[in-house]
Structure 1
């Protein structure tokens, strides 16, 4: 297998990979508007000789699925082609400086997608009888509700997937859970020069958030549970005491933490707020939750990685993926996910999003080798 792997690595073309990566970054593909980038990738894969299946999610939105080998895939490479919305497109255009590629989605996760596509282009150079039973799945909708992966899982649950989220090439067999909470406070609007006649919804919200933050669960001195106030907004009428305030909170939960326990703790703390904040009118809803997981790292993928990384001159680090991803959906469906990709979460979703190109090349080699190993996987 070493000889075949070496041949695969020689088939990986960094120049072609850079071109694919930059072309993907040139195509604006926020959630809901992924068709242009899917058309580009579909044409690329079709020209390479693959049969590309469109997996319909909704009108003008579809996953792309490619399989090779003579038996059902033992492993899928999974990447999401959608990005968050760019509020200023000029600042999100792709560029390369000293081996670092910048642009919307460069880390999350067009770098991983490009590496997966390049790995499959390398696999296409193998004779038919030597091709492993693997698949490539390029999904839509991850940045919102995971509807692309959900559509795939409605019809197929492979044993393993590798998801190319940004981990700086760390191997994540563990994954945080996620809970999203929305809070609304209501008050009474008056002219801003007469606040004593109204009830300020923003002040109520701030007091509630301070009380929530004092709960032991959210102690930043022991930041196992990640608590982040993502958004705070109020009624936009001018020069008045605001009568409505809305807040959104992201909670990233350690793998063993039950989202239901966190919800209960927040509800209890809100009851405390009701007695501590005068005339509080508060509504709290939980719009999304997903439990984390921790896989046993004594598995064939971990064994392969332990052999691959020294050959590539890379340090192998095992970690827990701290953000939300489609990995949670795959795990809930009975699939075992490994999260591993180029780039890091530190710059994802920011105007400075970036990925070191050498990591993208290394990722392509890792993905190709893992696909090859799937042929003899237990």
Structure 2
């Protein structure tokens, strides 16, 4: 795409007050994971008030149907998807507040502010008439945040065909272009024995010891971690098994009947998730047999691993947008978390770029995002869509100079 793109015209179409109003309207509706129905309704109302047509497919979750909005140029071309989750982590609700150029409140950073920026990009493209090929698909959904959500609603959207050729996701990642990321599962194990808790000297010492069983399982998990640690990537790091929570017992001389362990398993692209799950279940079964306890394992799949080809045309379009919006090419790196981009990559087989505002406080009660960052993201999303849908793509004159 040539440098003749009327960027000033696009920037003029950006309405900061409208963008902030959209973000506040989304943040002010509480939406803990599993209960994003009301904020999904709010997003639908916002889009319909702007004249867009909205679909509400259940995508496997009737309690909070997803939001799907399409804007078509009227000419053939690629579909660029803007996708965001409307649910928030289960923390005390913080109402929205705008102060000194910043938006505060639950979901401001993760990721209602980013969704508002994507909505503004959609408006900008329609109002300027600059999108002359292809279309935009905007989607919003619930069930993102683990452990309360299992990611299945975005699975349902993909399986039902509500998916683009490429996708942008406005998570709070602004300074690197993620090209690889590990997959993740939450590991849980509940270890029990028959009977009630009992005093150590009144038969407790004769019972199967759930704490010893827990210690054995933790030791086995540490061995597993050492085994998988040899699988490494120069950017993404190593595979891992981690225990972060273990609890059981009420006092020093009581034999408890329950012990609980919780941790994570993270893997690199190329690892077999089914085999990983089977290995964990077998390990738990081994401990149960050895200790005379019952071990109930849970392998909660969160997201698969992720990889993006740095030479993909979508990456070139995105970097062109970053430069055209006034920035410099982002360095490639590892995605520090798992997100729905992993799912679009592994399940839909499309390139996914996670890029959003420089926001802070995600997964806390202190979320804050600069409004200028929301404006920047709106411009970058609109420019990326224009470049990717253009038959020209980023032109030679748009490439950074050789060093």
Alpha-carbon RMSD across the aligned residues, in angstroms, is 3.4
- Conserved 8 A contact 2:68-2:137: yes
Counterpart Cα distance in 1 of 2:209 and 2:95: 41
In the alignment, which residue of structure 2 is the partner of 1:137? 139
Hey, what does 1:296 align to over in structure 2?
309
The separation in 2 between residues aligned to 1:371 and 1:204, in whole angstroms, is 55
Q: Distance in 1 between matches of 2:301 and 2:112?
A: 25
Q: 1:83 aligns with which of 81, 88, 101?
A: 88
- 2:13 maps to which residue? 11
Q: Partners of 1:104 and 1:232 in 2: how far apart?
A: 29
Pick from 332, 335, 357: which aligns with 2:350? 335
TM-score (norm 1): 0.84
Q: How does 1:56-71 map to 2 (within 5 A)?
A: 56-57=58-59, 58-68=61-71, 69-70=73-74, 71=76
What is the CA deviation profile of residues 44-101 of structure 1, one whole-angstrom value per residue up to 9, with x for unaligned ones? 1112121122222343421111112224752111111111222x33xx3334565454
Q: Does 2:320 correspond to 1:307?
A: yes
Q: Normalized against structure 2, the TM-score is what?
A: 0.79
Pair 1:154 & 2:159 matched = yes
How far did residue 339 of structure 1 move? Answer: 1.8
Using a 3 Å threshold, how does the CA distance of structure 1 residues 358 and 233 change in structure 2: closer, same or farther?
farther
2:371 corresponds to which residue? Answer: 357
Where does residue 120 of structure 1 map in the other structure?
A: 122
Uncovered stretches (5+) of structure 2, i.e. residues with no partner: 394-403
Q: 1:213 aligns with which of 222, 226, 234?
A: 222
Within a 5 Å distance, the mapping from 1:212-361 to structure 2 comes to: 212-215=221-224, 216-217=226-227, 224-229=238-243, 231-232=245-246, 234=248, 240-260=254-274, 262-263=276-277, 266=280, 278-288=291-301, 290-311=303-324, 312-314=326-328, 316-331=330-345, 332-343=347-358, 347-361=361-375
Matched with 1:44 is 46
Cα 1:80–1:132 shift into 2, 3 Å: same
User: What secondary structure does 2:42 align onto?
Assistant: helix
Q: Distance in 1 between matches of 2:288 and 2:34?
A: 39
Native 8 Å contact 2:319 2:329 kept in 1: no
Measured at CA, do residues 149 and 278 of structure 1 come closer, stay the same or move farther in structure 2, by a change above 3 Å? closer
Moved more, 358-367 or 303-312: 303-312
